[in-house]
Amino acid sequence: VAMTDLASKGFTANETIAAMPGIISAAAASGEDLSLAADTVASALNIFGLEAAESSRVADVLAQSANTSAAGIDDLGYVLKYAGAPAAALGISLEEVAAAAGIMTNAGLDGSNAGTALRASLLALNNPAKAQEKIMAGLGFSMQDSSGKTKGLSAIVGDLTKSMEGMTEAEKVATLAKLVGTEAVS
């Protein structure tokens, strides 16, 4: 079934064979179904434009997130489904997306909600409306570095946290809700 899943995602026979060791490792490390692991690893490979031979690295990243957080492979699959493509397009790594998924599921979100919130946040901060742009300017916060390249997730979160120093928790939540929307503020 796992090989059929890979073929349905466009993998050739040789790519499928190359991907299987990593997929088997991910399934074993996470305790998840082989088919689910195959689908999630294949999605990550496709989303981030990686070669099938990198399946072991992808599997290790996913297994690490699953083993050190409340996220399961199914949660990671949902985060990739909803937030993977925008994150990859912005140059955010698979490792940071997987780490974010773990952190968000530890905070009580399931994979679907975490992926939706992460996608909405990335899109809102990357292309802010005028009101949000004004808030960001007032905070001295930008998602891009001085050369216009998108910062990594840890830098984005760190910079945003630093820009809100001195605010009460209620003010921080209100500011974040204005920036990314009430659904994504979590």
Sequential pLDDT tens for the chain (186 residues): 789 888 888 888 998 888 888 888 878 877 888 889 999 999 999 999 998 888 889 988 998 998 899 998 999 999 999 999 999 999 999 999 999 999 999 999 999 999 999 999 999 999 999 999 999 999 999 999 999 999 999 999 999 999 999 999 999 999 999 999 998 988
Q: How far apart are CA 122 and CA 57, in angstroms?
A: 25
Q: What is the per-residue pLDDT for 153?
A: 95
| DSSP 8-state symbol, 54 | G
Q: How far apart are CA 99 and CA 103, in angstroms?
A: 6
Q: How far apart are CA 139 and CA 146, in angstroms?
A: 16
* Residue 136 vs residues 44, 56, 85, 174, 185: alpha-carbon distances, Å: 31, 39, 24, 13, 15
Identify whether the C-beta of residue 55 lies closer than 8 Å to the C-beta of residue 23: yes
| Residues whose CB falls within 8 Å of the CB of residue 92, separated by 6 or more in sequence, listed in order | 122, 150, 152, 153
